[in-house]
Copies of this chain bind each other. A is one copy, B any other.
């Protein structure tokens, strides 16, 4: 059975396995202060062209989001997100568990509108009762969004300008950042310049697990290691994270993996259009959302693994197909054939 169920259903990119084997006999210090982690950080700094970016390797998107957000918010502040934001829907209340409210604004194909944001903040401080309310202390978006859509450069700039006007940090969840940067207007360098903090996801882009949290504007919170430790996010064998990022940022592996998956998704999207299926979002990244009727879904399930995302009508559903580094053109063709 071929699988398009997710970009974390495969193993790890062979280059990473190779670097694990090559470095296995080294003795290093723990907790991410080893030479492999230092090398990986240096490579990331080169890619984003920020010599003083401060980088921490963590395990998993929810952990990274909660540490980033909790480290940047004051206890009386909340974080602004669109309603469909991962932190608002699919992190089991991790942000609230840190005491912070997620303040929601409408989602536009998964994206936050700078105008909505500006209006919200203006209204907030115009309301005299704001001392009885959660203070908006941060803006969260994901790039690509949960629906695989992308912000243009000017959209990011507009959001960042509003953030600066209100002196609140702008944070970007990059669980699938690679797919976004190779498909859209914004390079890694742009991302690093257009926000205060973001993370580079490896779990869904060829790694074993692991995310690189980047404080870009000389804004690392004091005692960040204690904060990470307090949340259970400090890995003893930190090198295991360093190894992955070192491999991913050698010879542009992170980007070639991403481009390959996007290309496979493009093939699939074109075929779906050609066959008359309706795509739900216009997105250039590795996720494909389309509408299938119940019968087709049953038939497909015999031969393909994929996700039934949500109900669309009485007789149809939105389904999701995801590609990754290991997806082959042959697999896409098989899927197209079954469709």
Contacts and interface: CB of A to CB of B under 8 A. Distances in A.
A174 interface: no
Number of copies: 4
A56 B170 CA distance: 33
Given A9-B29, A9-B30, A99 B93 contact: yes
Interface string A22-37: 0111111110000000
Given A229-B92, A231-B94, A223 B29 contact: no
Main SS class of interface, A: loop
Contacts of A74: 222-223
A249 interface: no
Contacts of A315: none
Contacts of A231: 94, 97, 231-232
A92 B134 contact: yes
Given A25-B11, A27-B9, A227 B75 contact: yes
19 contacts: A6-B236, A8-B30, A10-B26, A17-B20, A25-B326, A60-B233, A63-B232, A64-B232, A74-B222, A76-B223, A76-B226, A92-B226, A94-B231, A96-B100, A99-B99, A132-B229, A134-B226, A231-B232, A232-B233
Interface of A: 3, 5-6, 8-12, 14, 17, 20-21, 23-30, 59-67, 70, 74-76, 78, 89-94, 96-97, 99-102, 127, 129, 131-135, 203-204, 208-209, 222-223, 225-227, 229-237, 239-240, 305, 310, 326
